[in-house]
Structure 1
């Protein structure tokens, strides 16, 4: 039997990790029908059922599915190691770089930093949130990732086979609507917008609030900062946003930063550069250095 297509194996591993065809499609940037087709193709090729598909419930791997999951993960790691070894033979020179970045950094940070550091290199850029991006680094689907970390105990972890470089800190700003004068006390009593429970930005907000002895009333849970901006602009909520995300709306007078008492400050999030431990081409080093400079590191 020939080996299954590596792209199909990566899709299956993402489905196994997410427990959902739809969530796997979102993480991979595919449409759900493509993910379902990949899994069906793999089951047909292996002649075994890999997933129990009970309507309305989380997908569960069969015994065969768990065995294939373990074998596929090992195969992809071995394939990645081979690719890394070949890459090192070129003494760090690459003609193509597969780079992932979370969306807000791609627009405001990564794109400006790429000018001049990637001459002669063909770039394939993937817009991906950090959790899915880490899986893509580990599988070898991308070479490097610009990631965020809200709390020190969040992933990525070096023990998982990553080489993690701290590029700097991304300041957060407390913002509110521009239709009234806000102070910190008013924000404490206001409705807040944040990510879903368990998300890094939500946990950072809650930890910061506990340190200041208040509990924010999180009335709105959102997936992306554009939704937060819209809710803040219309006066529905206040929130902590990355400064570079909030800045354009502040400059246009759509929202306003809220001044904090002199003894308080907003917490930052870390911006990280992530690669596999044995694969760091020179163009990646130059990019990470440029990002460090731009972040004031």
Structure 2
């Protein structure tokens, strides 16, 4: 295996390493080609050249994309380090300041409505020299980006039975920031909005606003897919389908239906919407997780992790806004 790594980095071009990292992050050759502005055949040629240099297969081609082999995982870790070092050197040569306090953060959709801005505001107040670059993504993409070295930290959501976000090695380091039940967003003028919570039996026969393809329930790692309350013993009526949270909540405010939401959205709902917990039936718990690759955590990343934890704890106080 040592020979494989030495050969890969002796004979491989920097372009091939960049392409390989992009493929690992995107999960498919097509998506990597689009992101890089290459043709798919050009991406395939770069991967083939890297595999020839390594003397080993680095990717397992599957019907749903690609998966790293054992050799590919090792090459990826080294490729990410090489590309980052080259980019840092280029900035220095160009006379640009380095970014020793820069952290790259990924987050799932509903975390961006309140939690991430709240955490970044807190971090800016206590550590103004730290720069954060962030982006939204679905959980599988965020996990791949962590492993590709394109992200330092990622906020992801998890549903029972709370399995690891992937089966790759080494296992990601996971910190549970909070664990809370789901809630239901209802129009302020709806009869269900009169109380402090909702009985699960009163959710029968309601009209729902759901994410595309969500059917009835919210997924484990991509909260945009949430729709009708999970576990209803009826086929729910999906009146409207929208991926964007702002659109979903605007439809709720307009009286077009109800939608299931993570509790963290309570602080970010528009006027005309109440977010209420549900009593009765199985508890629908969701965990907010902070994931990263194993190893020592740089100080800037540790500061951001603390800010995210504090923001997560503070956000739960707003589960039932006035």
Query: What is the TM-score of this pair, normalised by structure 2?
Result: 0.64
How far apart are the structure 2 equivalents of 1:247 and 1:67? 39
**Corresponding position: 1:296 with 2:302:** no
Structure 2 partner of 1:104: 110
Q: Is 1:7 equivalent to 2:18 in the alignment? A: yes
Q: Which residue of 1 aligns with 2:156?
A: 147
Gaps of 5+ in 1: 26-31, 51-59, 85-92
Residue 236 of structure 1 corresponds to: 256
The residue aligned with 1:29 is: none
Shift of 1:119: 3.4
The gaps in structure 2 that reach 5 residues or longer are 1-10, 52-59, 85-98, 193-197, 315-322
What is the rounded CA distance, in whole Å, between the counterparts of 1:66 and 1:258 in structure 2?
41
| Aligned-residue offset at 1:127 | 2.5
The answer (yes or no) to whether the contact 1:143–1:279 under 8 Å persists in 2 is no
In structure 2, distance between residues paired with 1:71 and 1:226: 43
**1:284 is matched with which residue?**
301
1:83 Cα deviation (Å)? 9.2
Contact 1:13–1:69 (8 Å) recurs in 2: no
Superposed CA offset, 1:34-87 (max 9, x none): 456153323344678x9xxxxxxxxx949xx97997754431123457899xxx
Q: Report deviation, 1:179.
A: 3.9
How well do the aligned residues superpose, as a CA RMSD in angstroms?
A: 4.1
Aligned to 1:55: none
2:77 is paired with a residue of what secondary structure?
Answer: helix
| Residue 188 (structure 2) aligned to one of 178, 192, 200 | 178
| Structure 1 residues 203 and 155, CA gap change in structure 2 (3 angstroms) | farther
SS at match of 1:115: helix
Partner of 1:132: 141
CA distance in 2, matches of 1:108, 1:237: 23
Q: How do 1:70-109 and structure 2 match up within 5 A? A: 72-80=72-80, 94-109=100-115
1:208-249 CA-partner distances (Å, limit 9, x unpaired): 743xx6335052554332332233233333121123424443
User: Structure 1 residues 118, 265: CA separation in 2 closer, same or farther (over 3 Å shift)?
Assistant: farther
- Partner of 2:145, secondary structure, is helix
Listed as ranges, the matches of 1:160-239 within 5 Å are: 160=169, 161-170=171-180, 172-182=182-192, 184=199, 185-195=201-211, 196-197=213-214, 199-200=219-220, 201=223, 209-210=230-231, 214-215=233-234, 217=236, 219=238, 220-239=240-259
Tell me by how many angstroms 1:265 deviates: 8.7
**Equivalent of 2:128 in 99, 119, 122:** 119
CA pair 47-132 structure 1, distance change in 2 beyond 3 A: closer
Q: Alignment partner of 1:100: what SS?
A: strand
Rounded to whole Å, the distance in 2 between the matches of 1:267 and 1:247 is 20
